[in-house]
Amino acid sequence: MDSADRGRFISLEGGEGAGKSTQVRLLCAKLREAGCIVAQTREPGGTPGAEAIRDLLVTGDGDRWDAMTEALLHFAARRDHVEKLIRPALDAGDWVVSDRFADSTMAYQGYAQRLGKETVDELGHLAIQDFKPDLTIILDLSPEDGLARVDERHAGKTEGVVEDRYERMGHDFHKCLRDAFLDIASREPDRCVVVDARGTPEAVASSIWEQVTRRFAKELRIAA
């Protein structure tokens, strides 16, 4: 289809506690105010099959899987997500905003769990043919601040499954994640933008919206 008729795909990335879920919700609201039809989604997850795989990845002991097994599970979930939700939405002219995408597999398994960039790239090519977002917002926050936010969030949770498998991994793991996301951004500056996540949710949302409107000025004028 003509690229002008295709929807746009935005992912939000970052370490634990960076505020991705909140910012995804706020960004979707802004896009809808601008007249866009928006699919809000997440990874791992987004479709029934991918959500079933999510349960295997975000709960249990930290050493439940090795890096290769984790990457394979993520890409299995991602393929289902892309084929059943993301591509159809984009082909219909809708926008898609996802809480995480393939950069998380690169950062978590490729870098922090030392599977290797080349291996993750190969798996991505096999599973989703190098399909990527049009724009990736990387929320940057120190591991100390991010994990403090996580602790505060869990302290207020009284029921339901606690998805804290990755959060319970050590400080060095989370420091490596931050460095990984920043390295990914430096390697793909045309796609990735780093946003300081230390501010209030409203301040961070304003910074994200500035980047989105700068990147998609033409599309948002059409949508409005």
User: What does the H/E/C string look like for the chain?
Assistant: CCCCCCCCEEEEEECCCCCHHHHHHHHHHHHHHCCCCEEEEECCCCCHHHHHHHHHHHCCCCCCCCHHHHHHHHHHHHHHHHHHHHHHHHHCCCEEEEECCHHHHHHHHHHHCCCCHHHHHHHHHHHHCCCCCCEEEEEECCHHHHHHHHHHHHHCCCCCCCCCCCCCCCHHHHHHHHHHHHHHHHHCCCCEEEEECCCCHHHHHHHHHHHHHHHCHHHHHHHC
pLDDT at residue 159 is higher than 70: no
CATH superfamily of 9-223: P-loop containing nucleotide triphosphate hydrolases (3.40.50.300)
Tens-place pLDDT, residues 102-119: 999 999 999 999 999 999
Q: Please report, for the chain, the start and end positions of each structural domain, with discontinuous segments joined by +.
A: 9-223
- The pLDDT of residue 152: 76
The pLDDT-based confidence of 64 (bands split at 50, 70, 90) is confident
pLDDT at 4 over 70: no
**pLDDT band (50, 70, 90) for residue 161:** low
154 — pLDDT class (breaks 50, 70, 90): low
